Amino acid sequence: MFRYKKHIFLLVLTVILLAACGGGGTKSEQADCAPNCEYTDMTFCYPQLGAESDWRTANTASFKETAGELGVRLIFSDAQQKQENQISAMRSCIQQEVDVIGLPPVVEDGWDAVLTEAQNAGIPVIIVDRSVSADTSLYASHIGSDMVLEGERAAEEFNKAMPDGGAVLELSGTTGSGAAVGRAEGFRNKLNDNITILDSQTGNFTRAEALPVMQAFLQKYTPGVDFQGIFIHNDDMGIGAIEALKAAGVQPGDLFIVSVDGTRGGFQAMVDGWFQADVECNPLLGPQVMEMALKLMNGEEIDREVLTNETVYYPDNAAELLPTRKY
């Protein structure tokens, strides 16, 4: 009899503990309005990582414009390239019981705890733009560019332009970010063995930080002698680098320069003869992400990974395309 009572007691205790571990997850994966939720029912949280580049400005505008057009309530914040700010913004959104979070992660690592908190609260997270290293079970989907492919495409441009080999510099993006890690990996995957990467330094995806990095490179290495090309992880850093190159007397076309993004600034650099190719990275993700957010609210099936279809732009039609660029 005593043994029987003890078992009942343990069972009740286990049920209580399991409920507590659920983190108060009262919200289900699909919203109360499912299966008929509309955009006007949605509160969408977008803890933007910063405002470091023209690409980022266009990405922010895409989310704000899409939310405005669809009638989605948007909770937007700018983390100023600091992961701790993004995590606080996410926690605030979890407290406000938003319907869906779109997270553009500044770096790949360190998201497990806050993703688990969102999951326990029943709030689906769509990883936007850069990737995370967290287990895929912690988020609903990833929508963004294939950063490895972008790096590979850049390498192929150098392989074509430098068949006899040479040396290149790399101006890399934010250390530990999915964009910088992926582009660096892809570049190394495809670069011919006869082309060496002489040096690689980060310019944190900004013009302001790329300028002194390029100046330091030019103190150390002679353009055209020690290196023949530069792979630059985004157009903003490219524009910062051009300032340093101009000041050092380098002329457009003296070096083979490949950048990433395809912003208006990048197109102008192709028109001016500085960039020989610009690998596209599309920031206009708002409509796609919000469409997926609505599907999640309605409990519909979604793809776990959606990679943006992109291309490479060249100087030959850059002047013609420049006025049509949306960012």
Closest CA to 285 of 62, 42, 25: 62
Q: Which residue has the tokens 């340093």?
A: 244
Which positions from 169 through 188 interact with ligand AHR, judged by CB under 6 A?
179
Q: Is residue 119 near ligand AHR by the rule CB under 6 A?
A: no
Collapsing DSSP to helix, strand or coil, 43 comes out as strand
In angstroms, what CA-CA distances link 52 with 29, 58, 245, 297? 33, 11, 21, 31
Q: Which C-beta is closer to ligand AHR: that of 31 or that of 242? A: 242
Contact between 52 and ligand AHR by CB under 6 A: the answer reads: yes
Binding of ligand AHR by 290 (CB under 6 A): no
Chain position carrying tokens 């895409």: 62
Edge-first strand order for the sheet with 73-78 is: 73-78, 43-48, 100-103, 125-128, 141-144, 305-307
How many Cα atoms occupy the beta-carbon half-sphere of 123 within 13 Å? 28
Using CB under 6 A as the criterion, what x/- string covers residues 55-74 for binding ligand AHR? xx------------------
Closest chain position to ligand AHR (CB): 55
Binding of ligand AHR at residue 99 (CB under 6 A)? no
Q: What minimum distance in Å lies between the beta carbon of 45 and ligand AHR?
A: 19
> What is residue 1's three-state secondary structure?
coil
- Strand 312-313 relative to strand 277-280: parallel, antiparallel, unpaired? antiparallel
Residues comprising the chain, all counted:
327
CB 257 to ligand AHR: min, Å? 16
> Does 234 contact ligand AHR by CB under 6 A?
yes
Which of 130/142 has CB closer to ligand AHR? 130
Q: Which two tokens stand for residue 281?
A: 């990275």
Question: Of these, 53, 62, 172, 268, which contacts ligand AHR (CB under 6 A)?
Answer: 53
Classify strands 100-103 and 43-48 as parallel, antiparallel or unpaired: parallel
Is 130 a binding residue for ligand AHR by CB under 6 A? The answer is yes
User: In the bound complex, what is the minimum distance in angstroms from residue 153's beta carbon to ligand AHR?
Assistant: 13
Count of beta carbons in the 10 Å neighbourhood of residue 234: 35
Q: Within 254-283, which residues bind ligand AHR (CB under 6 A)?
A: 260-261, 281
Which of these ranges, 50-58, 85-93, 134-142, 189-197, lies near ligand AHR under the rule CB under 6 A? 50-58
Applying CB under 6 A, the residues found at the interface with ligand AHR are 52-53, 55-56, 129-130, 179, 205, 234, 236, 260-261, 281
